[in-house]
Amino acid sequence: MTAVADSTARPGGQEPLDVAVVRKDFPILERTVRDGHRLVYLDSGATSQRPRPVLDAERAFLETSNAAVHRGAHQLSEEATDAYESARARIAAFVGVDPDEVVFTKNATEGVNLVAYAMSNAATAGPEAHRFRVGPGDEIVVTELEHHANLVPWQQLCERTGATLRWFGVTDDGRIDLTGLDELVTERTKVVAFSHLSNVTGAVGPVAPIVARAREVGALTVLDACQSVPHMAVDFHALGVDFAVFSGHKMLGPSGVGVLYGRRELLAAMPPFISGGSMIEVVRMEGSTFAPPPQRFEAGVPMSSQAIGLAAAVDYLSALGMDRVAAHEHELAAAALAGLAEIDGVRIVGPTEMDDRGGVVSFVVDGIHAHDVGQVLDSVGVEVRVGHHCAWPLHRRLGVAATVRATFYVYNGMDDVRALLDAVREARRFFGLEVTSADGAGADRDGV
């Protein structure tokens, strides 16, 4: 698949994505919705669509090599194991780490819980697990903009261990507020958990200063990379984080598979969370010993076909080029922000400029509940997310009950941005709000 447009190259010789070519790889985009409307899919931040190479990779594995991984001496098992471990290696390379630092999980939520519950189990583990022990007097630090998956597990860890939960606040434009960093992250801090890119505001998190301070005090860092890994070049080793999580279904891959990255020496010291088959070294009636990572954290029969599908998604994104993917989404988000700013009564929730920002665009329309906006958009084929997006505390902080969220990906183009803007105008008309020239009435339909 080649998806380079014939248009003028960007500065630095980078060719833009040819969206028309990319779209041909996604069968679902051929369908219509709501009485024949073109599908304008702007909900990839929740779940992305899958290209044919991903569907084909899963199907080929199931049709030719499906067997238990790491559990047989026959040919199919050998082929399945080789395919599974090849997938691990390709996914590891995609995020700049080594294969034995990649643990397959069912999703990012499980990855965060794996670390949090391992810390609960560390009290009875050996001396090598000292960095994971948490108790009264210790502190866990999060941020006010976290997805519930990177908040609730830490709340529960504190409840189980007697540790104290603390958090960074959020600026008015939806960024992590580092004011008081040194006072918040101290020698009492055991974990700092934060997002690389907000799933609501699109703001890119300040990874470097947080990681630097955590290292100074000996705290572990856990990065939610669900909204960054699918959309930009990410190297976990270069970022210096201790752990990171992401999910396959947000990056053109299957549901039911995610990744926990952990630094090799930390995984080696971390006690297991789920126990049973596959994660053991020796089992006796008196007790058991455990396999080295990553198998230690992959109890039971793994999600083999999903891992193969995720590796195919990584290959697909690598062929496109992650810098090109990021630049493409940057252009779409910038156009959406500019267009929404021209519609009366629309307020962006998050940064209004594209500096340190991704392709997540959340907004509210004065006088119309987000769910009602979403229904009008859906009626004309524009599919967005509405609600608090599993970030309830952030919405409270920003003074909104719910937002409309559009998220852009490789198969979206400027025609999708125009469709979004037209649908928002239609929502205002539907609910009887005045339509003025600022709403784009009579605007050039060839423009955004």
244 secondary structure, DSSP code = E
d(CA 290, CA 355): 46
d(CA 410, CA 102): 25
The DSSP secondary structure of 58-119, one letter per residue, reads HHHHHHHT-S-TTS-SSHHHHHHHHHHHHHHHHHHHHTT--GGGEEEESSHHHHHHHHHHHH
d(CA 246, CA 224): 7
* Closest by CA position to 263, among listed 48, 100, 426, 40: 100
* Closest by CA position to 418, among listed 440, 397, 437, 399: 440
Cβ neighbour number for residue 206 with a 10 Å cutoff: 16
Three-state secondary structure call for residue 309 = helix
Question: In residues, how long is the chain?
Answer: 448
Angle between helices 322-341 and 304-320 in degrees, nearest 10: 80
| Rg for the chain, CA atoms, rounded | 23
Three-state secondary structure call for residue 160 = helix
> Which entry of 55, 274, 390, 443 is annotated as an active-site residue?
390
d(CA 352, CA 336): 10
Examine the residue annotation and report whether 390 is marked as an active-site residue of this protein: yes
Can you tell me which residue has the tokens 């940057």? 330
355: left (phi > 0), else alpha (psi -120 to 50), else beta?
Answer: beta
d(CA 125, CA 214): 24
Q: Which amino acid is at 387?
A: G
Active site residues: 390
